[in-house]
Amino acid sequence: MRKLIALVFNYSLNGLLAKEGTEYYRYCFELLDQAGGPTRDDETLDLLRNAHVHIMGRSAYDGMSRALPANPSHPWSQIICAAPKVVFSRTMKTADWTNTTIASGDTREEIEKLTQGGDGHIVVWGGVSLWRSLMHLDLMDEFHVSMYPYVAHEGVKMFDDVPESYRLELISSVAGQNVVELKYRRPR
Question: What does the pLDDT look like over 25-79, one tens digit per residue?
Answer: 888 877 666 655 444 578 888 999 999 999 999 999 999 999 999 989 888 899 9
Residue 168 has φ and ψ, to the nearest 5°, of: -130, 155
The pLDDT assigned to 38 comes to 46
Q: How confident is the model at residue 115 (pLDDT cuts 50, 70, 90)?
A: very high
How many degrees, rounded to 5, is the angle at CA 61 between CA 55 and CA 66? 140
DSSP one-letter code for 37: G
Structural Rg of the chain based on CA atoms? 16
Q: Contact, 21 vs 86, CB < 8 A?
A: no
Q: What is the pLDDT of residues 169-184, one digit of tens each?
A: 999 999 987 889 999 9
pTM as predicted: 0.91
Residue 144 pLDDT level (bands cut at 50, 70, 90): very high
- Classify residue 155 as left (phi > 0), alpha (psi -120 to 50) or beta: left
Domains detected in the chain:
3-185 (3.40.430.10)
Q: Would you state the pLDDT for residue 40?
A: 53
